[in-house]
Structures are given as structure tokens and as C-alpha cells.
Amino acid sequence: MLALLRKYMPRLQRKLAEIDFSPQMYASSWFITLFADYFPIGIVVRIFDIYLFEGRKILFRIALAIFKLSEQKLMQAEDIELPLAHLKKFPETCDVELLIKTAHKFT
């Protein structure tokens, strides 16, 4: 995940490194559970559907989309608290169509 962030969002990756926030803090549980413990069931079903059709790449693309859609907020972080709080609340306001559209922009 770190290498993907470095490739697609280098400024964000550097910012997160500055505050000692590792994407693995969140991303590892996302991948282990296929996002089932993170998103509401409606979004999880959409992700599973795409996963069955496209394969595991969609999991990385969804993770990148979460960071991309959160990039502006995460760039404001002065410490680790803001990213942790923001990523915890992200599913509550997530627009599934925008999430999937953003995910498919990563190739």
C-alpha cells in the first residue's frame, strides 16, 4: 500500500510519513476482511460484486480511492489523530458511486 501511495499520491504519502502514520494501520484490516468491517453492508456488497468480476486489484483501488477522496483533509494533519479520526468516520459519508468511479481511475 505504501508503494501505491508513493506512486499515485506522493505528496500525501510524504505528509503521512511526516506524522508517522502508516497506511497499514488501516489498510491491513481492509484487505483481510475485504472491507466488511469498514463499510456498511450496501457498499461491501458492491465491492464484493466488483471483486468477483475484476479480481483482487479492486481492493487496492478502493483503498487508494479512500485515500484520494480523503487527501485534502489528510493533508491538514499535524499529528496522527486527524487521519485516524477521519478514516474512522469516512464510511458514514461515503458516496459509493464516487468511491467506485475514483477507484477505477487507478490503473
pLDDT at 70: 96
Classify residue 9 by its DSSP letter.
Answer: -
Cell reading at 53: 468480476
Mean pLDDT within 35-57: 95
Q: 56-97 pLDDT, tens per residue? A: 999 999 999 999 999 999 999 999 999 999 999 999 999 999
Q: 4-40 pLDDT, tens per residue? A: 999 999 999 999 999 999 888 878 889 999 999 999 9
Crossing angle of helices 10-18/57-74, nearest 10°? Answer: 70
Please state, in angstroms and rounded to a whole number, the distance separating the CA atoms of residues 49 and 47: 5
Q: What is the pTM of this model?
A: 0.93
Please state, in angstroms and rounded to a whole number, the distance separating the CA atoms of residues 7 and 47: 23
CB-CB contact of 70 with 90 (8 Å): yes
pLDDT at 11: 96
